[in-house]
Amino acid sequence: MDLSDTADQHNARRYSQRGGGSGSMATARPVSLPAEVTDIIISYVDDPGTLCSCMLVCRSWAPASRTILFEEIAIQSPESYDLSVKRVIHSDKFRTYLASTRIFRTYPDHSNAAYSHRLFYDIAGHLPSLRTLTLGNIDWSKHHPRANEPLLLSTFGQLRRLSLRDCCLPSFHFLPRALAAATSLQDLSLFHVTWPHVSPLVPTISQAHKSPALHRLSVYFTATDTVVDPLLRWLCQTCSRNSISHLLLFAHESRESYRNTSAIVLRSDMLDDLTTLGSYMYLTTLKVTMVRNFSLAMFPNVHALFIYADALPAPSYNETQPVQVQAISFWSTLVLMLRDTHFPLRRLYIRNVVSDLLLVDSDQANVVLARDNFSILQLVRFTVMRGRATPKSVLAEMIKRLPNLYSRGILEVEMTLGR
């Protein structure tokens, strides 16, 4: 038997079974990916418009697309807030998909948002899986909130991160009541949050609180602002005093500008409160602005330290030797902050330094960083913003001024065009 004839007959039978006939061509079946694969692909899409298009492709794509689309709700205006609450958050049709919402953000263009008095009431109980809540530019002081309003945060049992930006609270007590209600809260960020000033004669909360047990605390404030003081005192009465491992303290000269015109000096009352709170903490990461009277000795344990030179004024070239005077201020401030520390530091980052501020002889920093408690340093990195000094000259001067760090191979200098 001819094997080639047998093969031809076999192929003809296969062709006939696939639907082909004389004078016609077989039609290939469309390739279909398993639902698990398409769900993984859709999970990498982060554009809302693309996700809406994916929902219209076919029924099998719709569930995953809706789930990803509802993971984050972002609202930019009072008008969009009203529509979102009415048509989505309070709609039974979307209740299943709101169970996948992890992030809720609202940041209107102005602080006259009419929904500030009902925000917590609108979203409480409708976002059961919420983990991050970011609220911006909301003024609670324009209305008299009900006593139970801050307690509504207790309805978000999985809330881990709360961020308030440019908000005005009706009083300081509004904040601790809200934080105490959020029993699972781990990360708190306050960016220029204010409340009416209260006379020192008014007693503060004295009872101890179990919650929150924060892991991260970030506070952005103006150096002359007194609203931070009661927050620091209250945290000393909570479990957060022992649980905070990441602390960020960023002082500005004003709310309008992040680049200051003069070196920052903190008030003595704030320093006392920081000293009390710092004595309880075991920090793995500390991020602070460069402040002239802020010694880091108040923190007994720090592993990674970030010092931001944003608090120093930018160089001015219109006066007689202004760069030299400011540079001496930079090095002396750095030495002051590190001089009395005793914690076993492992990584030190000095960021946002204008290059011209480094070009003045100073051997104090090298002496301080050669002490025993800095013997386990693994990395010292300067992030330098370009000024008139060239990168080559900056690197040469840094090696000259910090020979101990350079000989250990842990000194790094990174040049950038800006912050």
Residue in 371, 367, 377 with CA at minimum distance from that of residue 345:
377
**Averaged confidence pLDDT in the chain:** 80
Query: Which range is least confidently modeled, 18-27, 149-158, 188-197?
Result: 18-27
**What Å distances lie between residue 289 and 94, 157, 188, 330, 350, CA to CA?**
45, 34, 18, 12, 10
* pLDDT band at 199; cut points 50, 70, 90: low
Contact 94, 68 (CB under 8 A): no
User: CA-CA distance, 206 to 239, in Å (whole number)?
Assistant: 14
User: What band does 175 get if pLDDT is binned at 50, 70 and 90?
Assistant: very high
At residue 2, the pLDDT reads 46
pLDDT tens, residue by residue, 201-230:
445 554 556 678 999 999 998 877 777 888
pTM score, two decimals? 0.81
**For 240-287, how does the pLDDT look when each residue is reduced to its tens digit (9 = 90+)?**
989 999 999 998 876 665 555 556 788 888 889 998 998 888 889 999
| Greatest mean pLDDT range, 113-117, 265-269, 402-406 | 402-406
Q: What is the pLDDT of residue 4?
A: 45
Segment 70-87, tens digit of pLDDT: 888 888 888 888 888 999
**pLDDT exceeds cutoff 80 at 43:** no
- 77-82 — which CB contacts under 8 Å span 24+ positions? 77/108, 77/109, 78/108, 78/113, 78/114, 78/115, 81/106, 81/108, 81/113, 81/115, 82/115
Which pLDDT belongs to residue 122? 92
**For the segment 47-58, what is each residue's pLDDT rounded down to a tens digit?**
777 878 877 788
Query: In this structure, are residues 229 and 273 in contact, taking their beta carbons and an 8 Å threshold?
Result: yes
Among 396, 400, 388, 342, smallest CA distance to 368 is for 342
